Structure 1
Amino acid sequence: MDPAAVVVCIAATLAALVHGYIFVLETLRWQHPATRRVFGTSAEQAAQSKQLAANQGVYNLLLGIAALVGVLVLLTGGADAGLAVALTATGIMLGAAVYLVASDRRLARAALVQGLFPLIAVVAALVALAG
């Protein structure tokens, strides 16, 4: 396997794990005090936004699953298709992270957590596709 594709597999898997964790926070633990501290919400705000947060959490989970599908396709010999799926999923993740920091500079740390592995995967996928 191309070294860049190996990097895609690792970074996309790590991105999927981060997005799976975000799913847990936004869907299963949204009103928990520790989660409210992470997102800076009050108990009242968390209660009022529970459905919206859960919907966003499901999006994060589905993006993570898509990234893992790309990795699985890559690992089973479908280089171009796997790269395309992984690039799409991690590109969307990266776009969301860029939007997050662009919309509020105070969220730069959250955007970094959300976007670092997708950024690595996107760059590696572009290198692999160019090679």
Structure 2
Amino acid sequence: MDLAVIACIAAALAAAVHGYIFVLETLRWEEPGTRRVFGTTPEQAALSKQLAANQGVYNLLLGIAAVASVILIVTGLRGPGIALLLTITGIMLAAALYLVVSDRSKGRAAVVQGFFPLVAVVTGLVALGQSV
């Protein structure tokens, strides 16, 4: 199987996760379920709403760029698509690593945020090596 296909699937799943994070941080930040996920009180959520929304938009844009990389690859622009895929999923992976390094209690969240980007980066690098 072409590893670029696996990289595309992983990037698309990473985009879906980041889209979901956007919904939580931007549209549902003060909802009880979201507060449980992030461990915030109603007061903390109210005070951090604008900051969370801004972070949510970043997550949405990362997801959109990951989808764009998949579209490039699928439409035959493999080189630029893999380059974009590696850049975007590398950023996602770096953010997940920062999360767990900065706060060990966030390990589960870091795995959720970083697993699909890790798969995309590894398979994308191998796919890139195969096309050279």
Q: Output the amino acid matched with 1:62.
A: L
Q: Does 1:54 align with 2:53?
A: yes
Q: Name 2:91's counterpart in structure 1.
A: 92
Structure 2: which 5+ residue stretches go unaligned? none
Q: How far apart, CA to CA, are the structure 1 residues paired with 2:66 and 2:14?
A: 8
Q: Does 1:44 align with 2:43?
A: yes
Q: 4+ residue runs of structure 1 moved beyond 4 angstroms?
A: none
**Alignment length, in residue pairs?**
130
Q: TM-score, normalised by structure 1?
A: 0.98
RMSD (CA atoms): 0.7
Q: Output the amino acid matched with 1:116.
A: F
Q: Does 1:104 align with 2:70?
A: no
Per the TM alignment, residue 45 of structure 1 is displaced from its structure 2 partner at its CA by 0.2
Q: Name 1:130's counterpart in structure 2.
A: 129
| 1:45-104 deviation per Cα after TM superposition (whole angstroms, max 9, x unaligned) | 000000000000000000000000000000000010000111111000000000000001
Q: Name 2:79's counterpart in structure 1.
A: 80
Q: How much identity, in percent, do the aligned residues show?
A: 68
Q: How far apart, CA to CA, are the structure 2 residues paired with 1:91 and 1:14?
A: 14
Q: How far apart, CA to CA, are the structure 1 residues paired with 2:42 and 2:77?
A: 47
Q: How far apart, CA to CA, are the structure 2 residues paired with 1:78 and 1:4?
A: 15
Q: How far apart, CA to CA, are the structure 2 residues paired with 1:46 and 1:18?
A: 21
| 1:4-54 deviation per Cα after TM superposition (whole angstroms, max 9, x unaligned) | 100111000000000000000000000000000000000000000000000
Q: How far apart, CA to CA, are the structure 1 residues paired with 2:58 and 2:92?
A: 10
Q: Name 2:3's counterpart in structure 1.
A: 4
Q: Name 1:30's counterpart in structure 2.
A: 29
Q: How far apart, CA to CA, are the structure 1 residues paired with 2:51 and 2:123?
A: 33
Per the TM alignment, residue 3 of structure 1 is displaced from its structure 2 partner at its CA by 1.0
